[in-house]
Amino acid sequence: MLAFVLRRIALTIPTLFALSFLTFMAIRLVPGDPIEVRRGERGITPERLEYFRHELGLDQPVWKQFLDYVWNLLHGDFGTSIVSQESVLREFVTLFPATVELSIFATLFAVILGVPAGVLAAVKRGSVFDHGLMGVALFGYSMPVFWWGLLLVLFFSVTLDLTPVSGRIDLLYWFDPVTGFMTIDAALSGQEGALGSAISHLVLPAIVLGTIPLAAIARMTRSSMLEVLEEDYVRTARSKGLPPWRVIGLHALRNALIPVVTTIGLQGGTLLAGAVMTETIFAWPGIGKWLIESIFRRDYPALQGGVLLVSTLLVMVNLAVDVLNAAINPRIRHA
Amino acid sequence: MPDAILAAPDTAAPPSPWRLLWADFAVNRGAVAGLAVIGFILLLAALADVIAPHDPMEQFRAHVLAPPVWATGGSWVFPFGTDDVGRDMLSRIVHGARYSLFIGFAVVVVSLAVGVVLGLASAFMAGLVDTVISRLMDLIMSVPSLVLAIVVIAVIGPSLTNTIVAVTIVYMPRYVRIVRATAQGEMAKDYVTASRAAGVGPLRLAFVTVLPNCFAPLIVQAALGISDAILEAAALGFLGLGAQPPTPEWGAMLSSAREFIQRAPHVVTLPGLAILITVVSINLMGDGLRDALDPKLKRS
pLDDT digits (tens, 9 = 90+) for A5-58: 888 888 888 888 888 888 888 777 776 666 665 665 566 677 777 777 777 777
Assess contact for A213 and A207: CB atoms under 8 A. Answer: no
Tell me the three state secondary structure of residue A181. coil
Residue A320 pLDDT > 70: yes
Higher pLDDT pick, A2 / A129: A129
SS (H, E, C) B65-122: CCCCCCCCCCCCCCCCCECCCCCEHHHHHHHHHHHHHHHHHHHHHHHHHHHHHHHHHH
User: A189 or A205: whose pLDDT is higher?
Assistant: A205
Q: Which of A30, A143, A146 sits opposite B254 (nearest CB)?
A: A146
* 3 state SS of A80: strand
How many C-beta atoms surround the C-beta of residue A278 within 10 A?
30
Q: What is the pLDDT of residue A16?
A: 86
Q: Where are the alpha helices (DSSP H) in chain A?
A: 2-29, 34-39, 46-55, 62-74, 88-123, 128-141, 145-152, 182-189, 194-229, 232-239, 244-246, 253-265, 268-282, 287-296, 300-328, 330-333
The stretch B193-220 carries a mean pLDDT of: 88
What average pLDDT does this structure show over B16-29?
82
For B63-73, how does the pLDDT look when each residue is reduced to its tens digit (9 = 90+)? 777 788 787 77
Q: What is the pTM of this model?
A: 0.86
Range 225-284 of A in CB contact (< 8 A) with B: 226-227, 269-270, 272-274, 276-277, 280
Among A147, A227, A290, which would you mutate to test the B interface (most chain B Cβ atoms within 10 Å of its Cβ)? A147
The Cα-based distances of B91 to A242, B83, B98, B240, B276 in angstroms read: 62, 11, 11, 21, 18
Q: What is the mean pLDDT of the segment spanning B202-207?
A: 88
pLDDT of residue B113: 94
CB contact under 8 A, A273 and B157: no
Calculate mean pLDDT across residues B244-259. 87
What is the arithmetic mean of pLDDT over B235-244?
90
pLDDT above 90: residue A105:
yes
Encoded amino acid at B97, one letter? A
Measured in angstroms, the CA of A294 and the nearest CA of chain B are apart by 10
Q: Tell me the DSSP string of A50-61.
A: HHHHHHTTTTS-
pLDDT at A132 (0 to 100): 92
Q: What is the pLDDT of residue B109?
A: 94
Is A25 in the B-facing interface, judged by CB distances under 8 Å?
Answer: no
Question: Given a cut of 70, is residue B298 above it in pLDDT?
Answer: no
Per-window interface: A 134-153 vs B, CB < 8 A:
138-139, 141-148, 150-151, 153
Q: Using a pLDDT cut of 90, give the percent of chain B over it.
A: 33
Q: Which of A178, A146, A180 is nearest to A282 (CA)?
A: A146
Mean pLDDT of B19-30: 83
* Residues A176, A94 contacting (CB under 8 angstroms): no
Across the A/B interface, how many CB contacts are shorter than 8 Å? 124
Q: How many of the other CB atoms lie within 10 Å of CB of A110?
A: 26
Q: Looking at residue B300, what is its pLDDT?
A: 39
pLDDT digits (tens, 9 = 90+) for B118-171: 999 999 888 899 988 988 888 888 888 888 998 888 888 889 899 999 999 999
